[in-house]
Structures are given as structure tokens and as C-alpha cells.
Amino acid sequence: MIGSYRTSPVWHPFTQHRLDPVLKKIIRTEGAYLIDEDERPVLDAISSWWVITHQHRHPTIIEAIGTALERFDQIIFAEYSHEPAEELAKGLILLAPPGLAHVFFSDSGSTSVEVALKMALGFFHNGGAPRSRIVVMEHSYHGDTIGTMSAGARGIFNAAYEPLLFDVDTLPFPAPGREQDTLDALERFCREGKVAALLIEPLVLGAGGMKMYAPHLLAEFQRITERYGTLLIADEVMTGWGRTGTLFACEQSGVTADILCTSKGITGGALPLAATLCTPEIFDAHLSEDRSRTFFHSSSYTANPIACAAALANLDVWRDEPVVGRIQALAEMHRERLAPFRSDPRFVNVRQQGTIAALDIMAGTKGYLSEVGPKLRTFFRQRDILLRPLGNVIYLMPPYCVTASDLDRAYEAILEAADLIETGAL
């Protein structure tokens, strides 16, 4: 196999160019599909890494981008503000769980979490009682910057960078029957009085294997953190914008985190943008006549007006279109199609949360480096379906416009793959 490094100077993410084939070019996008250079429609069953919510190139969002381009390009956000950002911040506050009052813009999920971590540490530093410990959950993933790698699971993703990473306290994943172990560990860490924040992916741990836990546990996490004055950070980068069945996953637990991170679906997937929302107390801890208490964070493209305009249009889509109904319909389609897999011995841990469906295929080793992962990717690619299994974990997270026949294709391909594995042909 000729690696793609021989034909292109581009270094692609999460790609081993010595092993992976030459990557095909996508020439346009439509609905739930990517159209490749051979004019073959590829079903985007993972929403292009979880960002496309409604559909590719939603007309309302694309029109808003075009209109904004007639007036704006980048504006320094440390010196000026602009209407798209102001209106978007107001809109996000109205949609978010009640109690969040301020919005800090950045440009990716990783940076939104970095911002949240710095907000939490700044809150305690400026209050005169510094805390520096961060508690996270086993198998979690929060991004690929140094801070977010430190907060995520340690393994092949970050082994080379271990000398740069800071230590965190880790909770065991609340597997069924082991939930109390997780709660006891959180209470033990918080009781020491050194924990600044619990950083959590609400309800679903994404890159860690689409691991899911019950909403009532998130409420228990908040109860414990509140008791000990620890901040709760909800990383809703993946779980937000309807993925788990509600606009934000925290809604299912009746929880308002002290800090909420959002990205990916904030623009419907059209442009990169992120936001970190916080309570008045977090903001006020940085409000002072003493300039040393300023929140020192920014990026060159903070609150890009074009991206903010796309996000504002996304809010219009949520307001004006039956998005919730589409999400409910998609969730029901998943439920119907997952049913036969639950009794198929070739699959285990068949699970669903809203529009996210996942199942583990019994094939060889487990984990991200399972040898079945690349084989499955190749198999699905040959059938013009974009699925990127996490090792032996196959998951689907399509745009909300996906049809029943689209999903049938994806689920039939999964069954076909299992047949081939069983006979040794894959």
C-alpha cells in the first residue's frame, strides 16, 4: 500500500501516513452526504467528527455566512466588540441551563475547555484561597492541547507528551453496579479541600469509547461538588446541540454547571467556533480595579464575526424548524435498528443516548489499537459510508436529516462486517 505521504504534503490528523491509503478529496457536501472526487456520495454517519448537526450546508446558515462576509472579516476582540458576538452571547445564555450569565468565545472544543480550566483556577486564585487540583473521569477525552490532554485519559494519544502534562485526580467510570465507587471517590477527593473543579463529559464519554452513564449520576456529582465548594465544568463540546436527545445533556439531570463548554454543533458544523459559559460568580472573581486579576486568555480569531453569524443562524434554525422532532425521530430510528443487535452474540454493550448509537463488536483485541479498527474503516469506506470505529467500538452519530434508508445502509453494513469477521474474510 502506498501511503498518502507520497502524493501530498498535507499532514492529516489521527492518520498514520505510512499505512493509510491516499485520501480521496471531497468536492462538495449535500444533506447527510459527502461527494467525493469520483462523484460518489458517501454517507456521513459520524457528522464529520460530530460537528454537522442539521445537515451539510444548511441554507439558513450558509446564507448568514454570505451576508456577514459582505460586512466583516476578523476584528480584534480585545479592543472592540461586534453585533454577531453580542447577539450570539445573549442567545446562548437564553438556551443554556439557567444561571449561566457570561460567554467567553474561542475557536475549538479544546480551547473552550482550556478556558474553563483557567477560569476555575483563576476563580480560586483571585479569591485568595488557591486550589490547583482537577478531577476528571476515567476514559475521558477533552482535547489535544496540553491542558486538555492532561485532563484526559493517558495512553497512546499522549504518551509522547507525558513530560509536559500535569497530574489530575481520576474517578473510576460509573459502570453499572459500580456507581457508588465513583461517587465515593469524588467525595474523597473533594473533602481534601484542594480540588478546584470536576471536569466531566455529561452522560456520554466520546473518544473514550462512547461510554454512557445515567443522568441521575450527573446530579449526584453536582451535589457533591457544591457541598465542598468545588466547581463543576460540563464539557458539552460533543454532547451539546441535541446529540444526547436534548439541546444540552445537562438538561436531563436538571444541572447547571458552574462552567459549560460548547463547540462543534454551535455553528451547525459550518465554521469553527467555541464558547465557554460561566456563572456570575466566576466572572466576578476576575472583575477588579487590579489589572493583575484580568482573565488572561485569547486567540487571534476570538469571536470571529463570520463564525458568530453562522452560530446565530443556527439558533434561528433551532427556533424556527422542528429540530427537536427530528432528533426524536432519529433516536427512535436508532432504537428500532439496534434491537436485533442486542441478541446477536457478536456484539456486546449495545447502547444509545439520543442520536448517538454504539456497540462493541467481538473481534480480536479491544481498545483503540484493536486490529479490527482499520479493517472496519476500510470496509465501510468501500461501501461509501463514513464510520470511524474507536478500535472495536462502532458508533453512529449522523446529521439530523438522515433518512431511514440511510440508516438501514449503515446498519446493514455493520452486520455484513460482522459476517465477514466471523468467516475470517475481514
CA distances to 37, 186, 194, 281 from 224, in Å: 53, 7, 14, 19
CA distances to 265, 292, 367, 368 from 208, in Å: 20, 38, 9, 9
Among the listed residues 208, 266, 215, the one whose alpha carbon sits nearest the alpha carbon of residue 242:
266
Handedness of CA 92, 97, 98, 102 (dihedral sign): negative
Domain boundaries, the chain: 4-54+322-423, 59-320
* CA separation for the pair 380, 100 (Å, rounded): 42
Among the listed residues 67, 69, 65, 109, the one whose alpha carbon sits nearest the alpha carbon of residue 260:
109
In the numeric block, which cell numbers belong to residue 135? 478531577
* Per-residue pLDDT of the chain in tens (426 residues, 90 and over written 9): 445 567 789 999 999 898 888 899 999 999 999 999 999 999 999 999 999 999 999 999 999 999 999 999 999 999 999 999 999 999 999 999 999 999 999 999 999 999 999 999 999 999 999 999 999 999 999 999 999 999 999 988 899 999 999 999 999 999 999 999 999 999 999 999 999 999 999 999 999 999 999 999 999 999 999 999 999 999 999 999 999 999 999 999 999 999 999 999 999 999 999 999 999 999 999 999 999 999 999 999 999 999 999 999 999 999 999 999 999 999 999 999 999 999 999 999 999 999 999 999 998 787 777 889 999 999 999 999 999 999 999 999 999 999 999 999 999 999 999 999 999 899
In the numeric block, which cell numbers belong to residue 235? 464539557
Fold of 59-320: Aspartate Aminotransferase; domain 2 (3.40.640)
- pLDDT score of 8: 86
* CA separation for the pair 277, 99 (Å, rounded): 10
CB atoms within 10 A of CB 139: 18
pTM: 0.96
* CA separation for the pair 38, 408 (Å, rounded): 24
Whether 4-54+322-423 shares its CATH topology with 59-320 is answered no
Fold of 4-54+322-423: Aspartate Aminotransferase, domain 1 (3.90.1150)
- pLDDT score of 1: 44
Pair 206, 238: CB distance under 8 Å? yes
- pLDDT score of 370: 82
